[in-house]
Structure 1
Amino acid sequence: MTRHRITLDEFHRMVEAGVFPEDLRLELVEGDLLEMSPIGKRHAAKVARLTAHFAPLTPTRALLYVQSPLVLGSSELYPDVALLKPRPDFYEEALPEGKDALLVVEVADTSLRYDLTTKLPLYARSGVPEVWVVDLEGGRLLVHRHPEGEAYREVEALGAGKRLSFLGVEIPTEELL
């Protein structure tokens, strides 16, 4: 069996050429194309709730980026929600990179292992300062702060009854669990 790895540029050319169906959810992880699972209603509802909470921050304090590409070295991931540093062109000239992210949120219904073992190290290595992983199965929210290498120095597990705050937006954890 021969494995063919592709570069970020090759991936972008393939997307622009219409090689993939529009509804196909792909991520490029260090040269490998990975097909993502379809999003279920519970997952979609949590993303919508996060979007509603963070919407007042846009466009002056942060740009709200929902299930859109984030370039991390040779990878391109599609976090469920990202808050990006504001830019006048809204990242039309170039896709945002890890250094542009203020916060990334992943909602994990069936993808917890992938989010923690594959995506989280890429976010840390790319300098994303804070990542929240909403563990729907486990009923907890994992908050990762202060990237160092491929990990985060601070990891906090929150259950119901707690509050998260980011850029002045307060979110009760039970709304995300």
Structure 2
Amino acid sequence: MTELLTYRITVDEYDRMIECGILTEDHAIELIHGELVKKMPIGDRQAYSVNALSQQFSSKCALLAWISVQNPVRLSDSKPEPDVMVLLPPGSKYRNATPRPSDVLLLVEVSDKTLDKDRDIKGPLYAQNNICEYWIVNLIDDCVEVYRRPQPDGSYAEKYIRQKGETLDMAALPGIAIRVDDIL
């Protein structure tokens, strides 16, 4: 069997392709481990959860964080576009610069069709790049998976699940609680 040869690109090459108009929003892709990966279309439930998260974080973290919705984060060999990020303020620092892992207080993916990818590919990617806290809003099982304390091997030392009727809190902003029911 003939093996296909692939070419990986760097984040800088990816950015240049966007700047030159080679890649546009119409392509609906993100850079994962140096490869261009097609993003899935957003369904109604996912759109609702993304909007609900944005509303919750904006109202509860307004002076403490900058909320970024479906925008990129620059990692070592990737530039994914998570559904929601809670970033260190001030927001003006992101006017001309993509957030880096050290800027991210919380990163959230809302998952239905992408659940396996968000667990098995993006989770380790975020841990390897030291994203301190990662949530998967799991629309299949109606719960939120919480991952904290990233390890160099691509795992998280702490993992737990929050169900409907429970609340979520961010390690970086203790005291701010979000009800699971409000985002599912």
Which consecutive unaligned segments of at least 5 residues does structure 2 have? Answer: none
Asked if the contact 1:103/1:130 (under 8 Å) is kept, the reply is yes
| Partner residue in 2 for 1:130 | 133
Query: Under a length normalisation based on structure 1, what TM-score does the superposition of the two structures give?
Result: 0.93
Map 1:20-31 → 2, pairs under 5 A:
20-31=23-34
* Residue in structure 2 matching 1:174, options 174, 181, 184: 181
Q: Distance in 1 between matches of 2:183 and 2:86?
A: 17
**Residue 140 (1) aligns with residue 156 (2):** no
The 1:34/1:88 distance shift into structure 2, 3 A limit, reads closer
Do the aligned partners of 1:26 and 1:34 also contact (CA within 8 Å) in 2?
Answer: yes
Q: AA paired with 1:165?
A: D
In the alignment, the residues of structure 2 paired with residue 164 and residue 12 of structure 1 have an alpha-carbon distance, to the nearest angstrom, of: 35
Which of the residues 162, 165, 171 maps onto 1:161?
165
- How far the C-alpha of 1:88 sits from its partner, in A, is 5.7
Q: What's the C-alpha RMSD, in Å, of the aligned pairs?
A: 1.4
Residue 63 of structure 1, aligned match among 44, 59, 66: 66
1:103-142 CA-to-partner distances (Å, cap 9, x unmatched) read 0111001101000111111111111111110110112210
SS at match of 1:12: helix
Structure 2 distance, partners of 1:169, 1:18, is 41
- State the 1:147 CA deviation: 1.0
Q: 2:39 aligns with which of 5, 30, 36?
A: 36
Q: Which has the larger share of strand?
A: 1
CA positional deviation for 1:23: 2.9
Partner residue of 1:119? 122
Q: Distance in 1 between matches of 2:24 and 2:80?
A: 17
